[in-house]
Amino acid sequence: MNLYHLFDHSLIGRAGEVALEFAGTSYSFGEIESRSNRLAHALARRGVRQGDRVAVYLPNCVETIDLFLACAKLGAIFVPVNILYRERELSHILNDAEPALFVDANTLPELRPEAAEMPDARPQAFVEGDDPAVIVYTSGTTGTSKGATLTHNNLAANAMNIAAAWGFSSTDRLLLPLPLFHVHGLGNGLHAWLLSGCRLRLLERFDHRTVAQEFSSFRPTVFFGVPAMYVRLLDLDAPIGDGARLFVCGSAPLAAQTLEDFEKRFGQRILERYGMTEALMIASNPYFGERRAGTVGLPMPGVSVEIRDASGNVVPAGEEGELYVRGPNVFPGYWRRPDARAAAFSDGWFRTGDMGVRSPDGYLTLQGRASDLIISGGFNIYPREIEEFLLEQPGVREAAVAGLEDRVRGEVPVAYVVADETFDEAAVEARCRAVFASFKVPRKFVRLDSLPRTALGKVQKRLLPK
């Protein structure tokens, strides 16, 4: 079996029922099935074959779902691209993935009429569970981003875990504002919907000015979000908890105070969980049982977690170490990067790069990154990419980028520069905005006489001024 066989319980078994609401239009599961079948035939006519990559650079829309399912049915590999990325970032992904087809706002209108002419029947392709389904480019801490290859089996195991652990059923109503280019929206939200057969209202984006109306008109039973969204929801004067059974938070650490304030305000205790691109869902606070503030809960079914010290030895409860993960959720490796795969695994266990501790009763608490990765509003930012760009700018002699605590986004990037009199802060900021996604642009430029370094020349970011 492969991933879309699981979804047939909804696409075929619930064909006549409303599946999706987007931008004021409703679609049945049967319509989603037919649309993706026709699109699969259109992709095949354009030369897309099993194993080929299809890069998709679109905001949330029905066509993104169509393209994902069409690729799964053809055995092609879906490559979602962050819509906030600019030419520098986009070029790297396209050069690395070498897609047979690139779909964006300019090329999508050409596909729509072509797909409409295609047959409704599902294309015949033999796709195995270990075949790659998706490549998601993830921000590492060194060098350029790497493509994490996720198989049909990885995604299927993750979908079944979520549906079982969080009690999804066809009676649920899922409000999803998360971007589908991220595994949180795609691998969790979209797949929980397709597996359970619930009703989904997909938003193009989270907008704190209109989200209260979405809650009022749709009355969701489940909401998936990131910490920044929950901070914004606390500012609303609306009964958003009415009728809901589950609010899930991930992609970045949730402040314990936000969890407590949300429960006090809306009568709902947020369920915090932990995952990452390479391993999808790793741990979750229980649906029934204690949702412990400040923790990410217990390992998901079938997922093993060990906490090890710098020598690779498992540490006892209460001691900090790096989280190692093993299970059917863990990806097989990075696209065309055997070196990176070798560095990421140790005796069959994936090294997450996250530091944490385990309580005597098994709850996991994350202590931060083993690296200096910045997580802003659920998006990963690796400083080296920005630092290297800053060093290309006139007048900049040294540069370091670090995360600054932010109430809404969790962290925001700040640039520390050693520069001469030719340095023009406004001009450099403008250049950053031209080449980087908005969340990567430094919120401040702090000028220093020198960067704090070790005797070996390594920048000591913990000593940078706050």
3-state secondary structure of 47: coil
| DSSP label of 465 | -
Place of tokens 């990963």: 380
pLDDT tens string, the chain, 466 residues long: the values are 789 899 999 999 999 999 999 999 999 999 999 999 999 999 999 999 999 999 999 999 999 999 999 999 999 999 999 999 999 889 999 999 999 999 999 999 999 899 999 999 999 889 999 999 999 998 644 457 899 999 999 999 999 999 999 999 999 999 999 999 999 999 999 999 999 999 999 999 999 999 999 999 999 999 999 988 998 999 999 999 999 999 999 988 888 889 999 999 999 999 999 999 999 999 999 999 999 999 999 999 999 999 999 899 999 999 999 999 999 999 999 999 999 999 999 999 999 999 899 999 999 999 877 777 888 998 888 788 898 899 889 999 889 999 999 999 999 999 999 999 999 999 999 999 999 999 999 999 999 999 988 655 668 888 898 8
Using alpha carbons, select from 249, 248, 159 the residue that is nearest to residue 197.
159
Q: What SS3 class is residue 139?
A: coil
Counting runs of H as helices and runs of E as strands, what totals does the chain give?
14, 25
Pairing of strands 101-103, 410-419: unpaired
CB-count exposure of residue 393 (10 Å: 0-12, 13-18, 19+): middle
The pTM is what?
A: 0.89
Sheet of 333-334: strand order equals 101-103, 53-56, 77-80, 132-138, 146-151, 333-334
Provide the pLDDT for residue 139: 60
| Residue 207 tokens, joined | 């907008």
Which residue from 361, 248, 362 is spatially nearest to 299, judged by alpha carbons?
A: 362
Give me the count of residues in the chain.
Answer: 466
**Residue 143's pLDDT is what?**
57
Ramachandran quadrant class, 275 (left: phi over 0; alpha: psi -120 to 50; beta: rest): beta
Transcribe 272-288 into DSSP letters: EEEEETTTEEEEE--SS
CA distance 230 to 37: 37
Position 424: which residue type? D
3-state secondary structure 358-405: ECCCCCEEEEEECCCCEEECCEEECHHHHHHHHCCCCCEEEEEEEEEE
Task: Give the per-residue pLDDT at 456.
Answer: 52
Contact 60, 201 (CB under 8 A): no
Q: Is the dihedral of CA 369, 371, 374, 377 positive or negative?
A: negative
Record the tokens describing residue 394, joined without a space.
Answer: 């006139």
Q: Is 201 helix (H, G, I), strand (E, B) or coil?
A: strand
Q: What pairs with residue 150 in β-bridges?
A: 134
CB within 8 Å of 89: residues ≥ 6 apart? 82, 145, 435, 436, 437
pLDDT given for residue 333 in this prediction: 97
Q: How far apart are CA 183 and CA 136, in angstroms?
A: 8
DSSP assignment letter at 27: E
Beta-strand pair 18-22/199-202 = parallel
Residue corresponding to tokens 């209202």: 201
Distances from the Cα of 93 to the Cα of 99, 144, 388, angstroms: 9, 9, 18
First to last CA, the chain: 52
Token pair 């075929």: residue:
12
**Both structure tokens of 368:** 């931060």
User: Which burial class, exposed, middle or buried, applies to 237 when counting CB atoms under 10 A from its CB (0-12, 13-18, 19+)?
Assistant: exposed
Q: Is the distance from CB of 293 to CB of 365 less than 8 angstroms?
A: no
